[in-house]
Amino acid sequence: MALVERDEGADVPLRTLAHVLSLSRASRFYRPRRSSAEEVALKPRIDALYTTFPSYGSRRSTAQLRREGRAVKRTAAQPHRREMGIAGICPGPNPSRRVRREHVYPYLLRGLTCRYPNYVWGIAVTSIPQRSWMYLVAVLDWRSQYVVSWERDGTLQPPFVLRAAQRALAQATPVIWNSDYGSRFTSSHERDLVLGVGVQNSMDGTGRALDTVCVASGDQSIISHV
């Protein structure tokens, strides 16, 4: 605000100065409120809890503070977390949103029997229950229930899915590659990788929400080793 302080009789009006500096003229007279001693003591502890338990939201964070003997309400802790830019790490909305319509492929497994290994492979992503959210992608052979490859990561970004797919396809080539409509599987990188080795791409159609259950059950066999 020192930039808009001026002597009496200045040539440049206050309105012009505020406009050039993108400031509100009313903010010239604002005096920031001093933080209370309670707030100064509480914020470092909230930050430390978030570092230790990044999946905690305002409810669990407030419950932990109360167990430590701090008389704090959620309505008091929540604004502090918001001001500090703290939010619990958890799966976001619409994780299965399609990227582009042209990258969606028909469902090829309706009425099909997996006659031999490496005939149909399925790929899916599941979450691992840990202190913070971890995600596991696995490629499973539907006939033998063998986990061909897997990869874990702390985010749902496509690279860790591509790494698992590349390692799987380096071992063998299935006839059909099945996945859901998730954005990680409709990306151009995933499509080019699968189609580039001559594999038929299949995606779960209407009424096939349980297709990835067999992949998720296969994931459980490796979660204990992750």
Residue 189 has pLDDT above 50, yes or no: yes
Nearest to 208 by CA among 123, 113, 110, 100: 110
Q: What is the C-alpha to C-alpha distance for residues 67 and 118, in angstroms, rounded to an integer?
A: 53
140/191 same-domain check: yes
55/110 same-domain check: no
Is position 96 within any domain? no
pLDDT at 177: 92
201/219 same-domain check: yes
Residue 132 pLDDT level (bands cut at 50, 70, 90): low
Residue 225 pLDDT level (bands cut at 50, 70, 90): very low
Residue 171 pLDDT level (bands cut at 50, 70, 90): very high
pLDDT at 30: 64
213/156 same-domain check: yes
Is position 133 within any domain? yes
Specify whether the CB–CB gap between 27 and 61 falls below 8 A.
no
pLDDT tens digit sequence for 47-60: 888 888 888 888 99
Specify whether the CB–CB gap between 194 and 107 falls below 8 A.
no
Is position 219 within any domain? yes
135/190 same-domain check: yes
83/17 same-domain check: no
The mean pLDDT value for 58-82 works out to 88
Domain of residue 127, CATH code: 3.30.420.10
Number of domains in the chain: 3
pLDDT at 204: 80
Is position 151 within any domain? yes
Residue 223 has pLDDT above 70, yes or no: no
Name which residue leads in pLDDT, 221 or 68. 68
User: What does residue 84 show for φ and ψ, rounded to 5 degrees?
Assistant: -85, 0
Residue 5 has pLDDT above 70, yes or no: no
Specify whether the CB–CB gap between 46 and 81 falls below 8 A.
yes
pLDDT tens digit sequence for 14-65: 677 777 777 776 666 666 677 778 888 888 888 888 888 888 888 998 899 9
Q: Which of 22-31, 72-81, 138-147, 186-195 has the lowest mean pLDDT?
A: 22-31
Query: What is the share, in percent, of the chain residues with pLDDT greater than 90?
Result: 12
115/209 same-domain check: yes
pLDDT at 172: 92
The parent domain of residue 157 ranges over 101-223
Is position 40 within any domain? yes
Residue 216 pLDDT level (bands cut at 50, 70, 90): low
118/10 same-domain check: no
